[in-house]
Structure 1
Amino acid sequence: MRVANLAQSLLTRTQTLQTQARLQIAEQQISTGYKSNVFSGLGGDSKKLLDFDRARSGLETFMATIQAAERRATIMDASMTSVTDIAQQVRADNFSTRAFMGDASVRQNVMTGAEEAINTTISALNAQFEGRYLFSGYEFDTKPIDMTADDMIAAVEAQLTADGFPPGTPVTAADIEAAIDTYLGINPAGAAGYYASGSSDTVTARIDENQEMDYGLTADNAAFRETFKGFLMTSMSVDRYDELNQTSATEFDDSFTDARVFVEQGFDQTNQLVGQLGIRRQKLEDTRIGHEKTIDILVQGMSDIQDADVYEAITEFQRLQVQLQASYQVTAQLSNLSLVNFI
């Protein structure tokens, strides 16, 4: 017959403490859903977990940048579509009204339509999102076009007068075009007279570790200058109707036809910008989706490392409870045993 001794009692108590520790771990796993509350508890996988988390954080930063760029590009796309829509309308009006230009009221309507087209384009290029002007380059707080159609038309009129053709003076289509080109900075090449921002740099976004994308546009882009040129040529040709006719019987026709051509060119160039922006938007979306898929993989890897199987933890918790209760009973019995019990 074996009689419990001190060594056996200590061994039983040590096993009980170990069971208690495992029970506590199982309880933490059930309550938190994690295998361990500290990285050291993950052993060799702790470094891998940190690497995964760092990679996920970096991708989430890129995704935030991409999503902001996508939202801005969407608004810019809508703005440029508005410009092409109004250009199509002015072009159509040019065709439909040409035969009736001898009527002063028709000419007034055409001038009003051109002014509305200029104002619509100005409004589109002054688009804002989240407190920043989208067509001002990197001068986000600067309104790109801080004037109205009346201001632009008056500026061209002043330039035409400065060139030697004040109101009432015979003028040619080429003279009007030259004044508009000077004002818009087309010929000679220079700053656009209407552009208030000092930045002509297109905005870029870092969408990956080693990749930046240029997706911005500024209001002084050549396509917008050409569009304004068409609208201004329309307005100035009709406004100088009499002066053009003083030069020759066909001069007004030439000037009004030129106006339509410039509107068409502005439409084509702006439409190309819409297409180019669409390509960039698709690239942004594809890159974002790629980052999302990579993040999903990283998150799954992190879950495999740190997440506990709660159902398994519950089963283990219940098993350890039974084992611990049995250990308590054995310890209690051993504490009551002595040699006297066997004499």
Structure 2
Amino acid sequence: MSFTAVSDLSQSLQNRRYNSQIKSDLNRLAQELTSGKQTDIAKAVGGDFRPLAGIETSLTSLDAYKLITTEAQQYTATMQQSLEVVQTLSEDMSSTLLTSTDFTTQSSVRAAAREAEGKFESVVSAINISSSAGAIFAGAETAGTALADADTILSDIRTAIAGETTIAGIKTAIDDWFDTTGGGFETNAYLGSATARSDFKVNKAETVGIDVKADASEIRSVLKGLALAALADDGIPLDQPDNNSDLLDLSRSELLSATSGLVGLRAEIGSAEERIETAAVRNQAETASLQLARNNLIAADPYDTATEIQNLQTQLETLYAVTARLSQLSLVDYLR
């Protein structure tokens, strides 16, 4: 009978190598169990990385679209909130002018005019609101504010009507100031861009544009109506039979007309919000689908991994037991 002798040193080195290999495999499996991904991606995809690369590229694009849709949702929500404030202020002022019948005294006219001026300031403040994307109603010019401050605008309007002595003349001058191309509103009140802000690209095939700026006719109409009422307390010298309280009548008509315009404007924004939300949901569904496809390629099966860990643990315990047993064997002990 023949046998091959194995030295103690050789046996020790071999045991160490087995021990190191088992521990390395245990660490790898523990990492896979924790992350849910196989560590050897090349083996998982059979050496063909093209499907996985395509999935990763698409997921990166969808992450970018998620940021864009989130920004677009914040942008449109802020716009809706601002216009809700404007609409409420406009309706409140028109309600005041409709329900009050006592504008025959200077004190009643003064009270209505001061209320209108306060609401004018609030409307300007609401339109000048900003979000993470910059000024909301300033078009492509997002760095500043959409409108000049209320005092500047009203001062410019007062300059525009200076010298007018009839209600008709004042109305024409104010209409020209607000509505004429290159007039006072566009020159001195609106500080934004004539160009709409760039569209939101919400996915690879769709963009959503929102061209609502502070120079929209619906917003100008509210400002005009409130300005007419604010001027009623200026004591403008008018030819008879005109009266400063007549400006309140003009204001009421303008504000009633402006309300329907604001409703339409908000509906337009609501349509854009719906498209953005639809795109966001579609992107989320596509992301989930791609993540599932990626997992099918590189995911580590938790049951198989746990079973393999249990097997390796048994091997390691066996190795320890054998090593301990061998360490107790010696020729001297045998001869005794």
Same fold? TM cut 0.5 = yes
Bucket of the pairwise TM-score, normalised by the shorter protein = 0.7 to 0.9
What is the aligned counterpart of 2:308 among 313, 316, 330? Answer: 316
Distance 1:82 1:192, change over 3 A: farther
Aligned pairs for 1:34-45 within 5 A: 34=36, 36-44=38-46
| Cross-structure match for 1:9 | none
CA distance in 2, matches of 1:35, 1:67: 29
Identical positions, percent: 17
| Cross-structure match for 1:133 | 135
* Amino acid paired to 2:83: M
Q: Tell me the CA shift for residue 140 of structure 1.
A: 1.5
Contact 1:26-1:314 within 8 A present in 2 as well? no
Q: Tell me the CA shift for residue 124 of structure 1.
A: 0.4
CA distance in 1, matches of 2:31, 2:237: 88
Q: Is residue 83 of structure 1 aligned with residue 86 of structure 2?
A: yes
Q: TM-score scaled to structure 2, two decimals?
A: 0.80
CA distance in 2, matches of 1:144, 1:35: 51
Distance 1:107 1:254, change over 3 A: closer
SS of residue paired to 1:81: helix
CA distance in 1, matches of 2:209, 2:230: 35
Contact 2:71-2:133 within 8 A present in 1 as well? no
Aligned pairs for 1:1-343 within 5 A: 24-25=24-25, 27-33=27-33, 34=36, 36-44=38-46, 46-97=49-100, 99-130=101-132, 132-148=134-150, 150-161=151-162, 164-165=163-164, 170-173=165-168, 175-184=169-178, 186-187=179-180, 190=183, 191=186, 193-237=188-232, 239=234, 243=238, 246-248=239-241, 255-319=247-311
* Amino acid paired to 1:94: L
CA distance in 2, matches of 1:96, 1:318: 83
Distance 1:145 1:275, change over 3 A: same
SS of residue paired to 1:207: strand
* Amino acid paired to 1:116: G
Distance 1:222 1:202, change over 3 A: farther
CA distance in 2, matches of 1:221, 1:192: 15
* Amino acid paired to 1:209: K
CA distance in 2, matches of 1:233, 1:270: 19
* Amino acid paired to 2:264: Q
Distance 1:242 1:158, change over 3 A: closer
Greater shift, 80-89 or 294-303, is seen at 294-303
CA distance in 1, matches of 2:70, 2:113: 41
Deviations 1:160-197 (A, max 9, x none): 12xx42xxxx3133x1122112222x135652531122
Contact 2:75-2:133 within 8 A present in 1 as well? no
Deviations 1:105-152 (A, max 9, x none): 00100110110121011010011223722111122211112222x332
Q: Tell me the CA shift for residue 23 of structure 1.
A: 8.3
CA distance in 1, matches of 2:64, 2:181: 44
Q: TM-score scaled to structure 1, two decimals?
A: 0.78
Distance 1:124 1:303, change over 3 A: same
Q: Tell me the CA shift for residue 46 of structure 1.
A: 3.3
* Amino acid paired to 1:29: L
Count how many residue pairs are aligned between Structure 1 and Structure 2: 312
Contact 1:202-1:217 within 8 A present in 2 as well? no
| Cross-structure match for 1:12 | none
* Amino acid paired to 1:171: T
Contact 1:86-1:117 within 8 A present in 2 as well? yes
Greater shift, 299-308 or 257-266, is seen at 257-266
CA distance in 2, matches of 1:233, 1:48: 66
Contact 2:45-2:298 within 8 A present in 1 as well? no
Q: Which blocks of at least 5 consecutive residues in structure 1 are unaligned?
A: 6-16, 334-343
Q: Tell me the CA shift for residue 25 of structure 1.
A: 4.8
Q: Which blocks of at least 5 consecutive residues in structure 2 are unaligned?
A: 5-16, 327-336
CA distance in 2, matches of 1:269, 1:296: 41
Q: Tell me the CA shift for residue 271 of structure 1.
A: 1.6
SS of residue paired to 2:139: coil
